A and B are shown apart, each in its own frame.
Chain A
Amino acid sequence: MTTITKRKMAYDKFTVLKSSAYPLPIENVDTDQIIPARFLKATERKGFGDNLFRDWRYNSDGSPKKDFVLNDSKYGGRILVGGKNFGSGSSREHAAWSVYDFGFRCVISSFFADIFKNNCLNVGVLPVQVSEEFSDKIFAAIEADPNTEIAVDLPSQKVSLPNGESELFQINTYKKENMLNGFDDIDYLQNMIPEIDSFAAKRPF
């Protein structure tokens, strides 16, 4: 177990989240769709939720596209369920910020792109990877009842449906501790600066 000393909370703690969810059963959702590049011009982290899925969510005149899931009033909640290979492409953390800023605290998918997954963990959004079978079950449950409450239990690493079906998910101990306590990596690294300095002194270039 990692010894963590003098660590400060950087974002909200995540323990158990019970919520309805928005379903987005499309594969290979890339970060250019999550937040298009023209909305990356801010120098502060705010307002990104307004442009989450901008071009899928709004027409070019700014009116909402009625058939897009985020505009459909029958859905709601703090969980986004995406298709396979969610978050591919650009490393822009703005994608994770926009997901968080919209109000999501958890994204569920049968497969995540690496950088997006890391970025989520670093901003306090829990990426939960489930099997394709379980992902299909979640989509089916939401289709049958948009108010389906999904329980994401981080301490026991379990995601469950109201009918009792559940699946365990993976997260490493270090990241789990961070999420449970609202700690971040920067804080961890600040606690080991002398060790880093002596390492740096030996680097040839």
Chain B
Amino acid sequence: MSNTLFDKVWDSHVVRQIEDGPDVFFIDRHFIHEVTSPVAFLGLESRGVGVKYPERTFATADHNTPTINQHLPVKDPLSANQLETLERNAAKYGIRHWGLGDENNGIVHVVGPEHGITLPGATIVCGDSHTSTHGAFGAIAFGIGTSEVEMVLSSQCIMQPKPKKMRININGELSFGVTPKDVALFIIAKLSTSGATGYFVEYAGDVFENMSMEGRMTVCNLSIEMGARGGMIAPDETTYSYIKGRTFAPKGDDWDIALAYWKTLKTDEGAVFDKEFNFDASEIEPMITYGTNPGMGIGISNNIPESKNIEGGKATYEKSLNYMGFSEGDAMKDKQIDYVFLGSCTNGRIEDFRAFASVIKGRKKAENVTAWLVPGSHIVEKQIREEGILNILEEAGFELRQPGCSACLAMNDDKVPAGKYAVSTSNRNFEGRQGPGSRTLLASPLMAAAAAVTGKVTDPRDLIDNNN
């Protein structure tokens, strides 16, 4: 029988099938952070149950942490309380915890792969919708609510109906200046913000096979932005060589056994998907969003679509453009911007900082731009220093901040003021996402860098050499 990659991993984790109900689904690895876990721990206490498999849960503080002066006490008492609560709960139940200041601390979806916690064929959940990131390794990974966090803590299982299956194939070669972020924003613009709701996606074809692990993580990360619970890419040599030697990766004989298993994790010839899409890599150009959901994106050389050409409600579309202060038919190019944010679980990895540096090298930050460059983890921060990227950033007038989710969701002090425009490498351009009244333009690190040095929306291809 022909099976998909998704079927193989899903079916091997079903503990019990409930007739006309969800599957009881076993979770190999569980990540927790300070924002969505406290009420789950309270639930355990009120029920009088403990944490079933503490060694399968990993805690890191990220959503609510400051990105400067992390050595000082956290000023906001509510944030400080959440961080302390996570630390206390982790200690009480014997859960590994990488708190603020720990050398392994960082954004949960950056540190998991960095430490080899994320493995092919594993099931991974976290109370965070961008858990889909880990699908880059051929894992089934998705975000859950706090009730489900409590389920995993207390039983290592959740109850999930099996999603439908979708495959997105992109073959051919990406054009100059087109990054994994552009590929993802292109797909979401094609499918819309709800086009994959109810599905689990497999990304296949040349474009994903030729992508680095960092790039694959960016693509899988954004799966939720088209409504998919998660997205995955079959593991291959790129995957294995990324994992090998990392702290929690299998070692010795265990590595060989794991590798033999991982090599079976691909979709069989003839396996059937509920829905399939095919795109050609040459269709994709650097992307930018103009509205208030990630599906509202266009290639940089296009104009904002006319409402008469938009599917769905005209009122909703107009509300969105009104919020953004844009008009139908506007070009995005040359629009003035105020803030640039490089970071997040989408684009806070070393490759993203390399890309940013490649554009700003030898240039200067625009006077009108406030730039927040936030590495995804301390390990990324260390690499930025070691590779000489920090010098390039500083020479161009930029500063590097400390790791965390930062302005992606603006729970800490990194808030874009009302009415201001931010070119952001993060994942959501919802109203107020980066601070009340903020206006977000989602783009790649290359596009963010181009905007940071010109002070306006700029096609990065105008600034970089095709031979790079």
Contact = CB atoms under 8 A, between A and B. Distances in A.
A83 B316 CA distance: 10
Given A43-B39, A185-B159, A27 B316 contact: yes
Contacts of B197: 85, 88, 111-114
A204 B21 contact: no
A2 B312 contact: no
A55 B436 contact: yes
Contact of A200 (B53, B64, B128): B53
Interface in A26-75: 26-28, 30, 32-33, 36-38, 40-45, 55, 60
A158 interface: no
B18 to A, nearest CB: 5
B308 interface: no
Contacts of A144: none
Contacts, number: 206
Interface in A81-122: 83-85, 88-94, 96, 111-115, 118-119, 122
Contacts of A27: 312-313, 316
A188 interface: yes
Nearest to A29: B316
Nearest to B43: A186
B409 A28 contact: no
A173 interface: yes
Nearest to B194: A85
Contacts of B145: 91-93, 96, 115, 118-119, 122
A42 B38 CA distance: 8
Given A60-B436, A115-B129, A186 B147 contact: yes
Given A28-B193, A43-B38, A172 B82 contact: no
B119 A205 contact: yes
B148 interface: yes
A138 B401 CA distance: 50
Q: How large is the interface on B (under 10, 10 to 19, 20 to 34, 35 or more residues)?
A: 35 or more
B75 interface: no
Interface string B191-232: 001100110000000000000000000000000100101000
Nearest to A120: B145
Interface residues of A, number: 59
Contact of A26 (B21, B28, B49, B319): B319
Contacts of B198: 114
B20 A189 contact: no
Given A27-B312, A32-B428, A173-B21, A205 B47 contact: no
B24 A189 contact: yes
Contacts of B146: 93-94, 119
A149 interface: no
A2 B155 contact: no
A32 B194 contact: no
A41 B319 contact: no
A27 B144 CA distance: 23
B249 to A, nearest CB: 9
Given A43-B39, A91-B144, A175-B21, A28 B293 contact: yes
Contacts of A60: 418, 436-437
A35 B64 CA distance: 16
Contacts of B194: 28, 84-85, 88, 111, 113
A175 B145 CA distance: 16
A189 B154 contact: yes
A163 interface: no
B79 A41 contact: yes
Interface string B38-49: 110011000101
A55 to B, nearest CB: 5
Interface string B405-440: 000011100000010000000001011110011000
A26 B312 CA distance: 10
A115 B42 contact: no
Nearest to B161: A172
Most-contacted residue by chain A among B15, B28, B53, B64 (CB, 10 A): B15
Contacts of B22: 172, 174-175
B227 A114 contact: yes
Contacts of A25: 313, 315
Interface in A156-201: 172-175, 184-186, 188-190, 192-193, 195-196, 199-200
A37 B147 CA distance: 18
B157 interface: yes
A203 B26 contact: yes
14 contacts: A26-B319, A28-B293, A30-B428, A32-B428, A38-B411, A41-B64, A43-B38, A85-B227, A91-B131, A115-B229, A118-B145, A196-B24, A196-B52, A200-B156
Interface of A: 1-2, 25-28, 30, 32-33, 36-38, 40-45, 55, 60, 83-85, 88-94, 96, 111-115, 118-119, 122-123, 172-175, 184-186, 188-190, 192-193, 195-196, 199-200, 203-205
Report, nearest first, the 6 A-B pairs whose CB atoms are least far apart: A174-B21, A93-B145, A91-B143, A41-B78, A122-B147, A43-B38
